[in-house]
Chain A
């Protein structure tokens, strides 16, 4: 494991009008580490994740990816750095007017300027990895939620990101489809991907996470290994939250 964190959030602050949603958040994610983020609704989990690729513009603070500050530089630099930060959304957001294959090749072709042959090959490779190669010619509307989410993961992976951000990737899925997506994420972790996962799948966290971060009211209240956080939470707020979600 490298010393330098793959993703570093430094004194991140985000305000929406008069409301301060994130209050000086600091977070370091080492290479190949899976950081699992939990917290009550409205605590700022999504906002923090979205600040990490500047879908949400931080009010202040820095975001370093592989040592480079994505807050510095031009719009073009940002587009280029976003290639290194994969993002998976609760709502999948596949492009409905394109086939699965085109969904996975679009950014490869337009942003990475890969040739068609290269992009197609890479896409098929990624679709294979998420178990969706057989649906390459299908359209998103013809797929189940779980299948769409796996394609969305492949779409991000095809760009060779350094970090993958997941915002409640299984929350919109029927219970029987959750497992297929979690399995893909587990595979990814075992291949050494650096991941930040916001989710309510506590069993997944216990099994896969290196570190669990509990957020509340725009601050990191407590962090530790899954055993520490789930087994012996120190802060009262963490205990209250965990008893609510498990109860």
Chain B
């Protein structure tokens, strides 16, 4: 039992690896912000393309969402990180991770937005347009707020997935939370840093998960 506690809950080792993990957490947060923010914006445009009256736009956005939801994000990441240099394009590990997960993530956000946009009654579009609002104004002020409210739990769930997804970046040695925890583990021959990292993820995600449940219940009511 003592060996177990020493291996997994060694306070001394946790304390020592804390700064390294904190810097990993910082990197994870930067990754998340970039992927989530760009994903929320990109996903909206993909969703709008998907619902466009122009057939070619619909086709492109359907191909986009199908492709990047079907490709495993890790495959996408390695492909971009290891493949692009062969094409003469050199990008930083950070950029590679952001691009790879953005492609994946915006596809999922797009599907969520689409469900949200469809859920808003057609009459809302018609009422707004009949008062002289442009299509863009109608979308921004009338339709989107309702659409987002209707799919808030799904948007949040997807955001939780993004945070978890970023741990895959350790594969290409980007020093995010999981990667740094692995480093600390191999230096100390002790699993406690991994436990600490798990705690960080929990602290980060538990409120989000709670929020999802909260909104789900509120929407069901």
Contact = CB atoms under 8 A, between A and B. Distances in A.
A and B co-occur in one complex: yes
Given A82-B132, A107-B132, A91 B145 contact: no
B15 interface: no
A87 B123 CA distance: 12
B33 interface: no
A58 to B, nearest CB: 16
Given A97-B145, A110-B137, A110-B141, A82 B131 contact: yes
Contact of A87 (B130, B137, B149): B130
For chain B, what secondary structure do more than half of its interface residues adopt (helix, strand, loop), or is it mixed?
helix
A53 B128 CA distance: 12
Interface string B119-130: 001011011111
A96 B146 contact: yes
B183 interface: no
Nearest to B143: A95
A118 interface: no
Contacts of B52: none
Contact of A95 (B124, B129, B130, B132): B124
B134 interface: yes
A89 B133 contact: no
B68 to A, nearest CB: 31
Interface residues of A, number: 27
Contact of A97 (B121, B131, B133, B149): B149
Contacts of B127: 87, 89, 93-95, 152, 155
A93 B132 contact: no
Interface string A227-243: 00000000000000000
B130 A85 contact: yes
A195 interface: no
A155 B123 contact: no
A111 interface: yes
B208 interface: no
Interface string A148-164: 00001001100100000
Contacts of A93: 121, 123-124, 126-127
Contacts of B133: 79, 106-107, 110-111
Contact of A55 (B129, B132, B142, B146): B129
Contact of B131 (A76, A91, A96, A107): A107
Interface string A129-157: 00000000000000000000000100110
Interface of B: 121, 123-124, 126-134, 137, 141-142, 145-146, 149
26 contacts: A75-B134, A79-B134, A80-B132, A82-B129, A82-B130, A82-B132, A83-B132, A86-B130, A86-B131, A87-B126, A87-B127, A91-B121, A91-B123, A93-B126, A93-B127, A94-B127, A97-B145, A106-B133, A106-B141, A107-B128, A111-B131, A111-B133, A111-B134, A111-B137, A155-B131, A159-B131
